[in-house]
Structure 1
Amino acid sequence: MSTHQKLIDSARHLIQTRGYNGFSYADVAEEVQVRKASIHHHFPAKSDLARAVVEQSRAVIVEQTRTLGGGAFDPVEQLRMYTGYWEKCIADASAPFCVAGMLASELPTLPTDLAQEVRAHFRDLSNWLEIVMTRGAQLGRFELQGSARQEAEAFMAMVYGAMLAARAYGDPTVFSDIVASGLKRLAPAGAS
């Protein structure tokens, strides 16, 4: 793995566990075993490093959206894969909180360029979820209470709220329980 990627991975972990304002280049240098000057060579400012972290997360969502647009897919399975990823990451503490979620909680204090990237992440995620909700409704798999956009936003809020509740209670099963309830509401027993 390149030093560039190691720096991004370290920053991702530090943001997920401490937030943007809770880490410094000294923390990254210690984790990656490089000098701070080396970090500045790759990322002149801390916001550049954090933006690279968010850009990688956004790239995954954009690719998933592109894949969904290309053909048939099971909307229930898509949501289960998405929430299952977070369930695993929260349970094994490999990614205890979404990096964009952590950054969003600090939005008023973030540099403008980083704040824009965080907002773009949420727009991308919402767009992906709207595609899934639309397809689920079309196939009769989901019972939407509002528009597909509203359901996408509500589902996203439920997932991030479940992450926060799991962290607050120090119990990964809280995430699983909340998400299972949300999926059950969205996909009635006969449809899933």
Structure 2
Amino acid sequence: MSNLSSTAEDILRCARSLISAGGYNGFSYADISKVVGIRNASIHHHFPSKSDLVRTLVAQYREEAHAGIAALERAVSDPREQLRAYIAYWDACITDATAPICVCALLAGEIPVLPEEVALEVRAHFRALSAWLTSVLERGAKQGGLQLAGPAKSEAEALMATVHGAMLSARAYGDAKMFGVILRPVLERLIVQ
């Protein structure tokens, strides 16, 4: 995505913020136009349709997530610490409101009304995150640092759903601390002390 112009990047940043606040149908090109300070026609030049814009945004989001996970894998080898770091990342994002919710988690709730090309990108994000969490849990169980109540794949799906659900709870209660309140016991159950 690095071949995008600075205007396209500005449009994507604005769309990401608007999606985080109101979902796919919660914004229009007119909203972006006001925030970025360009005409609708300029937005259409970069992204001919809303589905093009949001598909590009989700693809970019997936690349960022992949890069973040790769960096975490290089920096931390202990699966327990990888889980802690993953949870801490979202806790910090929710607390300081830099990313109050996972864009893909929010869009997943809208899958029935999303254009197919956007839905495919969202599903790909979930598959990639699930695969990574599964590998972390498998390694942790094999090393004896994590205790699983079932197959690693099932545990990964449950953990992913809990993380995303905790984001929603923090938003619903208007209290960023709810994220940690929900995730702390999950980590305590998984991590062998």
Structure-2-length-normalised TM-score: 0.91
* Alignment equivalent of 2:31, drawn from 22, 27, 41: 27
Q: 5 Å matches for 1:121-160?
A: 121-160=125-164
- Segments of structure 2 that go 5 or more residues without pairing to the other structure are none
Q: Which runs of 4+ in 1 moved over 4 A?
A: 64-72
Deviations 1:36-87 (A, max 9, x none): 1111111111111111111122113334555677797111221122111211
Matched residue, 2:83: 79
CA contact (8 A) 2:76 2:82 kept: no
Letter matched to residue 174 of structure 2 = G
Distance 1:68 1:97 in 2: 20
Distance change >3 Å, CA 62–CA 137, structure 1 → 2:
same
46-55 or 64-73: bigger deviation: 64-73
Does residue 112 of structure 1 match 2:128?
Answer: no
Q: What's the RMSD between the two structures over aligned residues?
A: 1.8
Q: 5 Å matches for 1:1-192?
A: 2-64=6-68, 73-188=77-192, 190=193
Distance 2:161 2:41 in 1: 39
Distance 2:120 2:91 in 1: 27
Distance 2:45 2:185 in 1: 47
Distance change >3 Å, CA 67–CA 91, structure 1 → 2:
closer
- Segments of structure 1 that go 5 or more residues without pairing to the other structure are none
Give the length in aligned residue pairs. 189
CA contact (8 A) 1:61 1:128 kept: no
Q: Percent identity?
A: 52
CA contact (8 A) 2:20 2:103 kept: yes
